């Protein structure tokens, strides 16, 4: 397997709006991040992925960009950004920027021009169509509920927006659009950034003719006509040739609906497209057929199946990104762990599980201190996805309010977006003003200051997980194999490299199941590399009664 620095790295995601506010306006900013760089260095992460900081009207908190080459006023200036980049580089860390080019904001100069007239030179930068019999051009629904089309009176046509109506999709069929994007990317790379996380990059190519999605409803899921579309690999290869291949960088493409076959192409070993992609199958594990808001209980065996499929499917052919949290996902300790009596244990267990897999691990801000989900009153939520879903389900659809609220508590994106809890002072030390989104009320108990003062905290455990990756090649490059496939409580797997075996045992339950070591795993010596309970080094591991949410990693020789 080819060795690469980005395979050996750990990435930490910052959602700037919620990270740290330096000027008391209630919104996180670049100087706030700069003030926490030593903290990130102490944690030991290698790369920072910065969610969008560009100019934006914030319909979708920065994922709607009105100027790709400038910084949002609330966050600071380009000069602040340069200071951030330098601060990271001086400390030996790298910076990965978010690239959001499936769509722009409707307030981007290109779109302002585009909507003016059918013969405007920018018209074809976006996807405009006539309506059909006084209805939308096709039946596609938006990721954020309702139609994916917005009617525009000026020219009596509709434009496509797979996300909010303030996020019109760019027309990648247009060569000039592609060139503009590549020039913009080059501009950032020449400033010295170290890579891109690419927002929904596998949606950029739409099937010709934009055919209807299957189904009889007015709005239907048209995903098969725009996920991993016909020209997506051609576009990414062009982007790679024109831009990416000229730099030694890290690239990860967010790719909903990608299969292993797709991934092997996106993240191929010749690196003609990207380094890795973010997939979603493991995050859909607790969703029913109705999608993310249709709650379904977590089943460990189903989760094992998905994870193992990706671990084995990409082994030697591509590269996995490993994540359980990000700004779109609920907090993992509340989701697959236990955020009450076993919060610390289960947060450590989930971290162990993830960091010992093959791939590049991503940590999302607050994960390293075991931050949890929230339950807000409806009016305290900010997220457009939540608001649109609520409107469609409850106000227009008459669905049961309690059921919808349960879904928001479990899956709402604001779970991840409450401000980082730095200490136990007002607003968790995040801001001296009024925070743009309320804090999780548990900040007095769960916060960075507390974690740094407690040697048994989730923070120091994560620090150790990161260190281990630097010490043991097997953690980065070893082959994965699932053991005890049918166990409903214990997720155990091995990694092998040369003569060595790494044994990872994680208990996903609050009970005390027994782990029985398979007989085909002989060894002479064993080293306990990390565990979340006190464990005797000499303990016989042929059979272990595990503690609730226990995790152990052994190196067997």
CB of 6 to ligand NOJ, least distance (A): 20
Residues shown for the chain: 557
Transcribe 217-255 into DSSP letters: SSSB--GGGTTT-TTHHHHHHHHHHHTGGGS--EEEEE-
Question: Whole-number minimum distance, CB 164 to ligand NOJ, in Å?
Answer: 8
Q: Which has the closest alpha carbon to 418: 33, 110, 87, 28?
A: 28
Taking the complex as a whole, the smallest distance from the CB of residue 217 to ligand NOJ amounts, in Å, to: 23
Residues 6+ apart with CB under 8 A from 537: 528
Q: What is the DSSP string of 287-306?
A: EETTEEEEE----HHHHHHH
* Cα(180)–Cα(143) distance, integer angstroms: 26
Beta strands at 54-55 and 67-71: parallel, antiparallel or unpaired: antiparallel
Structure tokens at 342: 């076993």
Q: How far is the CB of 190 from ligand NOJ (least distance, A)?
A: 25
Give the residue at shortest CB distance from ligand NOJ: 63
Least distance (Å) between residue 47 CB and ligand NOJ: 17
CA pair distance 351, 330, nearest whole angstrom: 15
Q: Which two tokens stand for residue 95?
A: 């910076």
Q: How far is the CB of 360 from ligand NOJ (least distance, A)?
A: 17
Helices 458-471, 343-355: axis angle to 10 degrees equals 20
Q: Which residues pair with 158 in a beta bridge?
A: 129, 151
Catalytic residue among 21, 98, 194, 199: 199
Alpha carbon distance 388, 395 (integer Å):
10
Q: Per the residue annotation, which of 29, 59, 98, 254 is the catalytic one?
A: 254
Can 216 be counted among the known catalytic residues? no
Residue 391, CA distances (Å) to 69, 387, 437 in order: 34, 6, 20
Token reading at 365: 């801000």
Write out the two tokens for 378: 């409806």
Q: Which two tokens stand for residue 527?
A: 């080293």
CA dihedral 218, 223, 229, 235 (to 10 degrees): 100
| CA–CA separation, 35 and 95 (whole Å) | 16
173 belongs to the catalytic site: no
Residues in touch with ligand NOJ (CB under 6 A): 60, 63, 100, 163, 199-200, 254, 327-328
What DSSP character marks residue 281? G
Residue 414 CB, nearest approach to ligand NOJ (Å): 12
Residues serving a catalytic function are 199, 254
């Amino acid at each position: 397997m080819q060795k690469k620095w980005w395979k050996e790295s750990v990435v930490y995601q910052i959602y700037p709006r919620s990270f740290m506010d330096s000027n008391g306006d209630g919104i996180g900013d670049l100087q706030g991040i700069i003030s926490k760089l030593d903290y990130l260095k102490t944690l030991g992460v290698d790369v920072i992925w910065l969610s969008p900081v560009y100019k934006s009207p914030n319909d979708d908190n920065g994922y709607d960009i009105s100027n790709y080459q400038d910084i949002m006023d609330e966050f600071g200036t380009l000069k602040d950004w340069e200071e951030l980049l330098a601060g990271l580089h001086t400390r030996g860390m790298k910076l990965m920027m978010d690239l959001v080019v499936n769509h722009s904001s409707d307030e981007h100069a290109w779109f302002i021009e585009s909507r003016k007239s059918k013969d405007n030179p920018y018209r074809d930068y976006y996807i405009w169509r006539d309506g059909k019999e006084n209805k939308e051009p096709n039946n596609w629904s938006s990721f954020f509920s309702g139609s994916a089309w917005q009617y525009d009176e000026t020219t009596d046509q509709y434009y496509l927006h797979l996300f909010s109506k303030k996020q019109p999709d760019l027309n990648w069929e247009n060569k000039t659009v592609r060139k503009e994007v590549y020039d913009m990317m080059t501009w950032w790379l020449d400033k010295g950034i170290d890579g891109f996380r690419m927002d929904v990059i596998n949606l950029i190519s739409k099937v010709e003719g934009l055919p209807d999605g299957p189904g009889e409803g007015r709005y239907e899921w048209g995903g098969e006509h725009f996920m991993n579309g016909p020209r997506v690999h051609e576009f990414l290869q062009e982007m790679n040739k024109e831009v990416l291949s000229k730099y030694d960088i890290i690239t990860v493409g967010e790719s909903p609906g990608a299969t292993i076959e797709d991934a092997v192409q996106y993240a191929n070993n010749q690196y003609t497209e990207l380094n890795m992609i973010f997939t979603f199958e493991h995050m859909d594990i607790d969703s029913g057929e109705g999608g993310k808001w249709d709650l379904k209980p977590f089943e460990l065996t189903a989760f094992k199946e998905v994870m193992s499929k990706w671990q084995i499917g990409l082994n030697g052919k591509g590269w996995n990104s490993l994540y359980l949290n990000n700004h779109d996902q609920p907090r993992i300790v509340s989701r697959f762990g236990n955020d009450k009596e076993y919060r610390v244990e289960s947060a450590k267990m989930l971290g162990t599980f993830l960091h010992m897999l093959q791939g590049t691990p991503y940590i999302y801000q607050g994960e390293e201190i075991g931050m949890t989900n929230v339950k807000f009153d409806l009016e305290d939520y900010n997220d457009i996805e939540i608001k649109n879903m609520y409107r469609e389900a409850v106000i227009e659809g008459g669905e049961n309010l309690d059921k919808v609220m349960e879904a928001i508590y479990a899956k709402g994106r604001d779970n991840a977006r409450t401000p980082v809890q730095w200490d136990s002072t007002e607003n968790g030390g995040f801001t001296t003003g009024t925070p743009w989104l309320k804090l999780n009320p548990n900040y007095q108990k769960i916060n960075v200051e507390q974690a740094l003062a407690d040697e048994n905290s989730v923070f120091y455990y994560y620090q150790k997980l990161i260190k281990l990756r630097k010490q043991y090649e097997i953690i980065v490059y070893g082959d994965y194999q699932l053991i005890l496939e049918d166990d409903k409580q214990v997720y155990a797997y091995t990694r092998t490299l040369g003569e060595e075996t790494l044994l990872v045992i994680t208990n996903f339950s609050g009970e005390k199941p027994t782990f029985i070591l398979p007989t085909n795993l002989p060894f002479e010596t064993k080293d306990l590399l990390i565990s979340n309970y006190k464990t005797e080094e000499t303990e016989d591991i042929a059979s272990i009664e595990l503690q609730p949410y226990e995790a152990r990693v052994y190196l067997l020789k």
